[in-house]
Amino acid sequence: MDEGIHIEGLSKRYGAGDTAVDALKDVNMRIAPGEVVGLVGPSGSGKTTLLKCLGAVIEPTRGRMTLGGEVIYDSEQGGWKTKDLRALRRDRIGFIFQAPYLIPFLDVTDNVALLPMLAGRANGTSRVRALELLQALDVAHRAKAQPSELSGGEQQRVSIARALANQPPVILADEPTAPLDSQRALAVVRILNQMASQYQTAIIVVTHDEKIIPTFKRIYHIRDGRTVEDPGEGREIS
């Protein structure tokens, strides 16, 4: 059984006939549990489409996607393997965005605990999990703070904790360091690597950020809907 992220022959076509546009063309990717991989490419290359397919936001035209050992999409077997895509996104996939998107009227702990509670976990269990993650990310001292009281770096750490709250096998990070300076950007990458290793989560980071691209041990370049793997530089982040 495939673990982490495994994509086979994934394609996405918009439109039909002479106006058809192939946003993805037979994409193949594999990201192991505990691994952080970069996805880079110019605007319009297919990065956003690929992330939306992986996040079960849009349906591919054909191909197969496996997340955390579970086949979630197979065009040869009827498409999506579950009818509840919202539950799939909630339980199997963590999302980190360029902006933290924290709920402004909830404190830090409740922002992280909300997702497990929505998944049906007890309030107390969810809050314990939230505090454990905040501790691991060195923001436990801000557990009672409101999002508006946090620095940009602290907000992004909380958003990482939230992405890990349901222990998803996969995290999709879309430009998570774009608004940060070099020091904070590298700190976020270091945290993602630590969390991937600790929780055996497969993480894919879509980025244009030249500050962090050299840190990936593996990179997929995407252009005109096709991916090419690059072993990357993988320099250590002190």
pLDDT above 80: residue 236 = no
| End-to-end Cα separation, the chain, in angstroms | 35
pLDDT digits (tens, 9 = 90+) for 172-227: 999 888 877 888 888 888 889 988 999 899 999 999 888 898 889 899 999 889 99
pLDDT digits (tens, 9 = 90+) for 100-112: 899 999 999 999 9
Q: Which residues span the domain enclosing 136?
A: 5-230
Q: How far apart are CA 94 and CA 110, in angstroms?
A: 17
Q: What's the whole-number mean pLDDT along residues 144-156?
A: 93
pLDDT above 70: residue 233 = no
Q: How far apart are CA 67 and CA 89, in angstroms?
A: 11
Q: What is the pLDDT of residue 37?
A: 95
pLDDT digits (tens, 9 = 90+) for 3-27: 899 999 999 999 988 889 999 999 9
Residue 206 counted as domain residue:
yes
Residue 61 counted as domain residue:
yes
Residue 167 counted as domain residue:
yes
Residue 236 counted as domain residue:
no
pLDDT above 80: residue 50 = yes
Q: Residues 61, 23: contact at Cβ < 8 Å?
A: no
CATH of the domain at 110: 3.40.50.300
Residue 238 counted as domain residue:
no
Residue 97 counted as domain residue:
yes
Residue 202 counted as domain residue:
yes
Residue 159 counted as domain residue:
yes
The number of domains in the chain is 1
Q: How far apart are CA 129 and CA 111, in angstroms?
A: 12
Residue 229's SS3 state is strand
CA distances from 61 to 13, 42, 86, 227 (A): 6, 22, 20, 17
